[in-house]
Chains A and B, each alone.
Chain A
């Protein structure tokens, strides 16, 4: 990796400024907005570090969906204009400074290259024999697919819990005929198309199930902001079968492969591309739906009886 340029320095300054702005915000509103800008700068940092796959997800989930969810909470919680800090616990400041010092000095000893004979070289070698061109997709869905499986489980349980804990959903969608609603109802289909392209392209280039589902979820948020009747109706439902289908399909494919190949999720070479593509398609829809349920249920959470 090369030397840092002036652009990198400015990027880091922007990141730290927006982060500190969130930490020192006068109220919740300012904190949420700072997080939104922080997410944008973060996406730029990923691009700069050669991680386009992450930049896409960060922009759609980190800056987009997370901010949208927090905005909805803000609508209810309200924004106090007084900064509220704990006064006690000042001992944490020197402790944190000490931790920072430890980290900075320990990092001097980190090797400036990937450890030889570690996962990095093993992955590069395995990639040269794999049918999948995108290294990140290969790691996510082949070499370390079990992590991905459990992680899809994490999102499934979170979305299920949110749906069950949100209380009765209030139907208080107002029809908004604004510029935003016009824009969002027309932008949403475009985003959905891009998501499809990303999914397809993810086998070889940048993209994949996570990117596609993140974009699809963002499109869904925009669509429900437009106040279309279809969006209102969808937001009141929780289709658990759709939410869980990706997880169950992924697991069942893995088990079928285990019966045939002797290891969970061990792809036979002739099946590899087909199996991974079908898993990606199933994951795209159910992940996007789970992300949308998070947003919808938080946006419309009601008062318990």
Chain B
């Protein structure tokens, strides 16, 4: 059967397509769609066996601790599937965006984007801490290069800072892996989970790794590299970076938390409180910004804060809420960056002043963006609403009133900064002339907005499926 090969095939297909896409810029988008089709089929095929058991692949036939093992369980599957869905949307938008603008960045885009997908797929199934380091580097190199593709001075400067931040983080992570290996002689995290003790070197290693991943996931106050990198990149790239690239690091943190059984521990609480600070700080900065790309980039800082709340609140309901927030954010944030890209094409500007009255030129875009905005602001009926509702409920049940307050204020802030964009876009400017962003680009935004609304209806079942009760999550329940 093919299914036991799924874990590595999901990496092999995009990476090989990336290598071939380097040879021909013309064929590259077709190679990307072949990769998307194959990966989608592989994911669907794995669905049935996964309801019974975890799919394990022993690379090279060498079991841990000698070799590397890949684990594909339901949590990984959900991450893979959402990355696939978000990735497919981004590919679609990128195809039409490059076609309508003819931007020279297209020559580098497809191979690096396929490389990023391959790296993320490798990360979601890897069961070995050092292998995860290499996967993180694949993601890091591709993400930084994609961010620089705009080739403006600002974009290159932002990409340089991104590279320095991710380089420093990788070193801290690697150091942590070294200490764990020195202690227990293995990097396989199923073995580590049975061996690890709360002793000083292990705690030090965990601290280093958590700090490293917090930088890569742009957790406040380690987000310093994100707003510029995401705001200066090309529109399809901003969507990719904000919606997907930072999610790998968060997923790894969640895995560490589960495998090392951290509920209620000091680092877990600290992550939660920093997440709360991120919600407030990111929301405030987004409200103050005048550049619409910067507004959406700061919104990513704020929205990522919600994922981290689950570490402090704990319990299955909070985890479902947190992961549903992650999934909704992938789709909604990608859609918003698509919309901003369209508005920039139509108005020729990314400032609030510049987009005045643009609604007339891009009605489809604005309609799609409104649906995605519901999810970000946490209004019904959307995935974001359900996610924040679950988080709110679990905070109330746990009596964590400070988090209830943060959730309420965060919701108001995000509604306010998103409303600001729509208000400016809707101001009537009869004499102003706009470009036509093209009907296809508008349809992609509409599709994205539609999917993020759909999450409000099917999101509940999908997060219930990955069966969090089997994991140790702590909390009130």
- A/B: CB atoms within 8 Å of each other: yes
Whether the Cβ atoms of B179 and A106 lie closer than 8 Å is yes
Query: Taking the nearest CB of chain A, how far is it from the CB of B115, in angstroms?
Result: 5
A122 to B67, CA, bound (A): 9
Q: For the complex, what is the distance from the CA of A61 to the CA of B345, rounded to whole Å?
A: 44
User: Which listed residue, A146, A158, A160, touches B60 by the CB 8 Å rule?
Assistant: A146
- Which A residues are in CB contact (< 8 Å) with B179? 106, 110
In angstroms, how far is the closest chain B Cβ from the Cβ of A168? 11
A116-B185 CB under 8 A given contacts A147-B131, A150-B135, A161-B112: yes
Give the residue name and chain of the A residue nearest to B11 (CB): A150
Number of A residues with CB within 8 Å of any CB on chain B: 54
Give A132-170 as 1s and 0s: 1 = Cβ < 8 Å from B's Cβ atoms: 000000000011111100110110111011001101000
- A19 → B minimal CB distance (Å): 14
Q: Are A266 and B22 neighbours in the complex by a CB distance under 8 Å?
A: no
B199 to chain A, nearest CB (A): 6
Q: Are A118 and B19 in contact (CB under 8 A)?
A: no
The reply to whether A251 and B66 form a contact with Cβ atoms under 8 Å apart is no
In the complex, chain B residues whose CB is within 8 Å of the CB of A146? 8, 59-60, 68, 131
Interface residues of B in 56-97 (CB under 8 A from A): 57-62, 65-68
Least distance between B110 CB and chain A CB atoms (Å):
11
How many B residues have CB within 8 A of the partner chain? Answer: 56
Known: A165-B151, A241-B23, A304-B151. A154 touches B60 (CB 8 A): no
Q: Are B59 and A115 in contact (CB under 8 A)?
A: no
B67 near A143: Cβ-Cβ < 8 Å? yes
- With a cutoff of 8 Å between Cβ atoms, the chain B residues found around residue A265 in the complex are 59-60
Is B68 in contact with A156, judged by CB distance below 8 angstroms?
no
Residue from A116, A120, A255, A304 in contact with B12 in the complex, judged by beta carbons closer than 8 Å: A255
Is B22's CB under 8 angstroms from A263's CB? no
Chain B CB within 8 A of A77 CB: no
Contact pick for B184, options A115, A153, A304, CB 8 Å: A115
Which secondary structure characterizes the binding site on chain A?
helix
In the complex, are the beta carbons of B134 and A126 less than 8 A apart? Answer: no
Q: Are B19 and A247 in contact (CB under 8 A)?
A: yes
Which residues of chain A in 223-282 are interfacial with respect to chain B, using CB atoms and an 8 Å cutoff? 240-241, 243-244, 247-248, 251, 255, 258, 261-267
Q: Verify if A114 is at the interface (C-beta below 8 Å from B).
A: yes
Min CB distance A71 to B, Å, is 19
Known contacts A118-B186, A157-B115, A263-B57, A123 near B134 by CB under 8 Å: no
* Nearest CB on A from B105, distance (A): 8
Any B CB within 8 A of the CB of A97: no
Q: Is the CB of A106 within 8 A of B204?
A: yes
Taking the complex as formed, is A117 at the interface, i.e. its CB lies under 8 A from any CB of chain B? yes
A151 to B20, CA, bound (A): 18
B65→A119 contact, CB < 8 A: yes
> Which residues of B have CB within 8 Å of A114?
185
- Using Cβ atoms and an 8 Å threshold, which residues of chain B touch A106? 179, 200-201, 203-204
Q: Whose C-beta in chain B lies nearest to the C-beta of A103?
A: B204
B131 near A119: Cβ-Cβ < 8 Å? no
A46 to B183, CA, bound (A): 22
Q: Does B15 contact A (CB under 8 A)?
A: yes
Q: Which 6 A-B pairs have CB atoms at the shortest separation, nearest pair first? A: A118-B185, A115-B185, A161-B145, A164-B108, A266-B61, A122-B66
- Give me 5 A-to-B residue pairs in the complex whose CB atoms sit less than 8 angstroms apart, sorted by A's number: A146-B60, A157-B111, A248-B16, A248-B19, A258-B8
| Contacts A150-B137, A157-B138 supplied; 10 other A-B pairs, CB < 8 Å | A119-B181, A143-B62, A151-B134, A157-B141, A161-B144, A165-B148, A243-B22, A244-B20, A244-B22, A263-B60
Which B residues are closer than 8 A to A by beta carbons? 4-5, 8, 11-12, 15-16, 18-20, 22-23, 57-62, 65-68, 107-108, 111-112, 115, 118-119, 122, 130-131, 134-135, 137-138, 141-142, 144-145, 148-149, 151, 179, 181-187, 199-201, 203-204
* Interface set of A (CB-CB < 8 Å, partner B): 102-103, 105-107, 109-111, 114-123, 126, 142-147, 150-151, 153-154, 156-158, 160-161, 164-165, 167, 240-241, 243-244, 247-248, 251, 255, 258, 261-267, 304
